[in-house]
Amino acid sequence: MRTRGFEVAKGFEDKGINLPVRKTKAAAGYDIEAAEDCIIEPFKPGDNPTLVKTGLKAYMPDDEYLMLCNRSSNPKKKGLVMANSVGIIDADYYGNPDNDGAMMFAFYNVKDEAIKIKKGEAIGQGIFMKYLITDDDSADGVRMGGFGSTDKK
């Protein structure tokens, strides 16, 4: 019986994607790698973040989410900060019809030079978390899409 974990997302099956692993026994996060080479240009006001593909999707119980966090070394060494500070992957993002639940990291580069990310390079970490709901919660919507779809009317 499966409870939580990672899978390769559709479209990335033959791309040599590594499933995330924890590096030490007491580590909270699973190290996540870039699915392909990419360049992150220096940030200029008005720029959109660069979305770095992971080629992964995550499954978990309905009362959990996967928190995507930056690597602690990225800001100092590479000037990479996550545009949304922390990413949230909801349980119902898995297998959605738009992108199969494929996860991406949204980065800004605050250095003056372009930063190259290589395929297989660790770019962040994922931490599975439980969450609570309020007594009067009445959410009954069903996810119909992928990235950014919950705010669409």
Please check the confidence at residue 149 and state whether its pLDDT lies above 90: no
For residue 112, tell me if it sits in a domain: yes
For residue 150, tell me if it sits in a domain: no
For residue 119, tell me if it sits in a domain: yes
What pTM does this model have?
A: 0.89
CA distances from 125 to 10, 55, 76, 105, 120 (A): 21, 14, 17, 10, 13
For residue 148, tell me if it sits in a domain: no
Over residues 40-96, the pLDDT tens digits come to: 999 999 999 999 999 999 999 999 999 999 999 999 999 999 999 999 999 999 999
Q: Which of 93, 124, 92, 119 is nearest to 106 (CA)?
A: 124
Structural domain tally of the chain? 1
Share the mean pLDDT of the chain. Answer: 93
d(CA 14, CA 28): 29
Domain that holds residue 76: 5-132
For residue 117, tell me if it sits in a domain: yes
For residue 11, tell me if it sits in a domain: yes
For residue 43, tell me if it sits in a domain: yes
For residue 125, tell me if it sits in a domain: yes
Q: Which of 20, 24, 22 is nearest to 33 (CA)?
A: 20
CATH number for the domain including 73? 2.70.40.10
